[in-house]
Amino acid sequence: MNCDVEFNWHINEFCNFKCTYCYDKYSKNKNFRGDVNIDKIVNAFKGTGKKCYIYMSGGEPFFYPNFIELCQRLTKDHIIGVNTNLTHKSIYQFAEVINPDKVRSINCSLHILEREKLKLVDDFIEKYYFIKEKGFYTFVTYLVHPYMVHRLGKDYSYFKSQGIILRPKVFKGNGAKFKILESAILRKIRPFFGSNYPEAYTDEQRNIITYYLELSTKEGNFKIDHSEDLNKGRMCDVSLDKFYIKRYPSFKGKNCWAGSKFIRMTSQGDVFRCYDDNQYHGNLFNGKIKLFEVPQKCTAERCGCPYMGFIYSEKGLPT
């Protein structure tokens, strides 16, 4: 799965879940916003002259119009990855027609409160095993929002009994300590009661999360070799959260391949260096992007996506 450049593509902004902790939960415009001209998109990636790793997240990628066709055509020349809540019925078609050798990973995001509310826990397990048995590298992440810490152990044990090892994921951003403050009615006052995470986790919460991070790495055999070359496509490693559980990391001043081997792309095709450096590199769908030829120093005070920061910055943990 050698690739020249990774596109982290926020493919759409629509999701069928209403997770209270989601940054886009109060969006009133649920219409698709982005380019749906598949010919144009496929030709744009081909026009880079590079073999691309195209990681698609949202929103929920499977709600992108004609998503299966898009994946079929992109995987003729490139490698893809998908971050999905695993609800859309086309998951089955995807697993049947897409070559797993062209898919680096499928990150199945388990949002257990929504799953329980919609009575879709068994549906998650069924779809997980369906795509896994088709040969896709599949793993499950569990976002540990502050009001979810108390149930992490129970959920971990249940899914382990079903043969699924959860990968806990540290919550990063502004969040309320109590679920009631996440309601739509009280959202205007939430900033006055919210706290910034991961800094606001209590020591007890950190101990719980760290325990399950280490247990998950051991029981799931999630050992990733970070010594391999960049173009061999190192995986996003959520076990790194144990280093970020107290605060956002910083790679400021270190050389980083963001803007060259990694870029962030919006649903409309606009390309930026990364999530914290908004240096504009053009619009891919218009065929006009210019990437750095060599690594550049990181200018961000913090790294909003430390998994990518660890992969693409100079070797070693952040300050």
- Could you tell me the pLDDT band of residue 237, with boundaries at 50, 70 and 90? confident
Q: Are 134 and 96 in contact (CB under 8 A)?
A: yes
Check whether 181 has a pLDDT greater than 70: no
Q: What is residue 185's predicted lDDT score, i.e. its pLDDT? A: 60
Asked which of 119-133, 147-161, 228-242, 271-285 is least confident by mean pLDDT, the reply is 228-242
Residue 201 in contact with residue 210, Cβ under 8 Å?
Answer: no
Tokens 């003729």 sit at which residue?
A: 76
Q: How far is CA 266 from CA 6, 36, 107, 316, in A?
A: 14, 13, 19, 29
Q: Check residues 226 and 286 and name the one with the higher pLDDT.
A: 286
pLDDT (average), residues 141-153: 94
Amino acid identity of 73?
Answer: R
Q: Is the pLDDT of residue 168 over 90?
A: yes
What confidence score (pLDDT) does residue 236 get? 62
Dig out the tokens for 303 from the structure: 């790294």
Asked whether residue 232 carries a pLDDT value surpassing 60, the answer given is no
The pLDDT of residue 221 is 78
Instruction: Kindly list the distances between the CA atom of residue 249 and the CA atoms of 65, 101, 214, 243, 297, in Å, as whole numbers in the listed order.
Output: 36, 33, 19, 8, 15
pLDDT of residue 180: 57
The pLDDT of residue 234: 47
Say if residues 54 and 79 touch (Cβ distance below 8 Å).
yes
Cα–Cα dist 23/4, whole Å: 31
Cα 281–Cα 286–Cα 288 angle in degrees, nearest 5: 40
What pLDDT does 287 receive? 85
Q: Note whether 104 and 139 are within 8 A (CB).
A: no
Share of the chain above pLDDT 70, in %: 84
Quick: pLDDT tens for 31-47: 566 668 899 999 999 99
Considering Cα of 54, then 23, then 242, then 272, what sign does the dihedral take?
A: positive
How far apart, in whole angstroms, are the C-alpha atoms of residue 258 and residue 274?
A: 6
H helix count then E strand count, the chain: 9, 14
Q: Give percent of the chain above pLDDT 90.
A: 64
Confidence of residue 258 (pLDDT cuts 50, 70, 90): very high
Whole-angstrom Cα distance, residue 67 to residue 257? Answer: 29
Report the pLDDT averaged over residues 231-256: 77
Largest CA distance in the chain: 52
Residue 257 backbone phi and psi in degrees, to 5: -85, 0
